[in-house]
Amino acid sequence: MIEFEQARQQLMAQAAQLALPQQALLTEALGMVLAEDVVSAIDVPPEDNSAVDGYAFALGAQDHGPEGLRVSQRVAAGQVPDALVMGTAARIFTGAAVPFGADVVVMQEDVSVAGERITFGEKVALTTGQNIRRRGQDVRAGGVILSCGEKLTPWHLGLLASVGIDCVTVFRPLRIGVLSTGDELQEPGEPAQPGKIFNSNRYLMLALIRACGFVPVDGGKVADTAEATEAALSRIAEQVDIVVTSGGVSVGEEDHVRAAVEKLGSIALWKIAIKPGKPFAFGHLGDALFAGLPGNPSAVLVTFLVLLKPFLDRCQGRLSRQSVPRLLRSTFSVKPGRRQEYLRVQLIDDGEGACLALHPNQSSGMLSSACWADGLAVLAAGEGMNVGDTLPFLSFEELLS
């Protein structure tokens, strides 16, 4: 077995930018990765504007006698104001441009209105610039607002729209082919048959790929024969950037995937000191890459999230990032093992703060434990732990982001 960190480094070293740039409208770009820096051509906001509904004036005019200040104009959002008449105030609304000559906005709740004049309460304290959003305080013209390699979120798209951009250059999302192997598999919706199990891995892998922003290509189920396995791998490798399989990479007589990949291409990595997920394999199939995940569903989930997902992100051109674990107390003990272990845990509060509870069944064949869990606790190879010890926690949300 290859130690986990060594295997991770070897895998990441073989990641290369695969996708070519393309144009995408903002309405289509969610989850895509920017292929170039984005520079704003404008300031945001484009001029000083009011943060509240109120009155804009020059601060030195506040003490303008008992009669107060005359309101000389009304400025709504979207209007271009006139320069402020000296010694007067402008009625102004949130988002409206501040007239030239005004340097403060008082909230409407802090003034009294009598006809066309306003007066200030005795306790109203104002400073220059109060309640004014300055030009360019969000974005400066000529500045890089998003960098090449950023994965576009809803707030990224909102920022792009705020500077008038409706189309961006992104990397084409990777096409990832999915094959699941095993004569024991039957599809959901069919009547349950003796000796068969429903094909959960197919739907798990397709959903994981889609959730991470890639394009899944469903290659279906492959029969447990060398011929069928080779044919299916050859066929789907011509259609995608990366082929991902579940099952068939172990050492059993019915495990044909690894042998087929070695015949059609090459295996560069196999058998990693990770639990669950030891049979993970990586290699090449012609021009396509290959990742062989184990057959048990929780092993599929773990190896996809902690090994394959970071690799796919780099191949997609995404900025290098690594999930940063939180150190949290455990409410359980675990004996040392030979492999780095990923435990399905739930985040709870035991009255003394956030801590981790362990699902009682960590079998790699169980998916219900992942539905119960909030993420994975990481236990290094050769290390045990006792109740109250801290260990790293990775949330599913963070791992999928």
Q: How many CB atoms lie within 10 A of CB 118?
A: 23
- 198/266 same-domain check: yes
Which two tokens mark 306? 């902690």
Tell me the C-alpha distance between 76 and 98, whole Å: 10
Q: Which residues contact 180 (CB under 8 A, 6 or more apart)?
A: 199, 201, 202, 205, 220, 221, 222, 245, 246, 247
Do strands 281-285 and 266-270 pair parallel, antiparallel, or not at all (unpaired)?
antiparallel
- 190/276 same-domain check: yes
- 234/124 same-domain check: no
Which of these three, 315, 344, 360, is where a domain ends? 315
- 224/153 same-domain check: no
- 255/307 same-domain check: yes
Do strands 111-114 and 117-120 pair parallel, antiparallel, or not at all (unpaired)?
antiparallel
Kindly report the average pLDDT of the chain as a whole number. 94
Task: Give the confidence band of 60 by pLDDT, cuts at 50, 70, 90.
Answer: confident
Which contacts (CB < 8 Å, 24+ apart) does range 346-350 have?
A: 346/372, 346/373, 346/374, 347/374, 347/375, 347/393, 347/395
What is the DSSP secondary structure assignment for residue 44, as one 8-state letter?
A: B
Residue 361 inside a domain? The answer is yes
- 86/108 same-domain check: yes
| 270 CB burial (10 A radius; 0-12, 13-18, 19+) | buried
- 215/259 same-domain check: yes
Q: Is the pLDDT of residue 253 over 70?
A: no
pLDDT at 278: 94
Tell me the C-alpha distance between 217 and 309, whole Å: 16
Residue 107 inside a domain? The answer is yes
Residue 146 inside a domain? The answer is yes
- 38/163 same-domain check: yes
Q: Is the pLDDT of residue 61 over 70?
A: no
Tell me the C-alpha distance between 197 and 199, whole Å: 6
CATH number at residue 39: 3.90.105.10
- 177/164 same-domain check: no
CATH number at residue 269: 3.40.980.10
Task: Write down the H helix ranges in 1-111.
Answer: 4-13
Q: Is the pLDDT of residue 251 over 70?
A: no
Q: If we measure between CA atoms, which residue out of 7, 6, 78, 5 comes closest to residue 270?
A: 7
Instruction: Please give the average per-residue pLDDT across 194-220, as a whole number.
Output: 95
Task: Give the confidence band of 252 by pLDDT, cuts at 50, 70, 90.
Answer: low
The H-or-E segment that residue 229 falls in is: helix 226-237
Tell me the C-alpha distance between 20 and 282, whole Å: 23
Number of compact structural domains in the chain: 4
Tell me the C-alpha distance between 182 and 250, whole Å: 12
Which contacts (CB < 8 Å, 24+ apart) does range 388-391 have?
A: 388/329, 388/330, 389/329, 389/330, 390/327, 390/328, 390/329, 390/330, 391/327, 391/328, 391/330, 391/356
Residue type, 45: P
pLDDT at 254: 59
CATH number at residue 360: 2.40.340.10
Tell me the C-alpha distance between 199 and 221, whole Å: 9
Which of these three, 104, 133, 162, is where a domain ends? 133
Q: If we measure between CA atoms, which residue out of 207, 181, 339, 357 comes closest to residue 275?
A: 339
Q: Is the pLDDT of residue 247 over 90?
A: no
CA separation, residue 116 to residues 71, 120, 186, 233, 292 (Å): 6, 14, 79, 80, 77
Q: How many CB atoms lie within 10 A of CB 323?
A: 17
Residue 55 inside a domain? The answer is yes
Q: Domain range holding 339?
A: 326-400
Q: What is the pLDDT of residues 268-318, one digit of tens each?
A: 999 999 999 999 999 999 999 999 999 999 999 999 999 999 999 999 999
Tell me the C-alpha distance between 211 and 215, whole Å: 9
User: Quick one: angle between helices 257-264 and 226-237, nearest 10?
Assistant: 50
Which two tokens mark 15? 């990641």
Tell me the C-alpha distance between 319 and 272, whole Å: 26
- 200/268 same-domain check: yes
- 156/245 same-domain check: no
Tell me the C-alpha distance between 401 and 34, whole Å: 16
- 188/277 same-domain check: yes
Which two tokens mark 107? 């909230």
pLDDT at 364: 95
Q: Is the pLDDT of residue 120 over 90?
A: no
Q: If we measure between CA atoms, which residue out of 190, 264, 251, 194 comes closest to residue 221?
A: 190
Q: What is the pLDDT of residues 317-329, one digit of tens each?
A: 998 777 789 999 9
Measured in whole angstroms, how far is the alpha carbon of residue 309 from the centre of its chain?
A: 11
Residue 321 inside a domain? The answer is no
Which of these three, 315, 334, 360, is where a domain ends? 315
Residue 53 inside a domain? The answer is yes
Residue 66 inside a domain? The answer is yes
Q: What is the pLDDT of residues 147-159, one digit of tens each?
A: 999 999 999 999 9
Residue 320 inside a domain? The answer is no
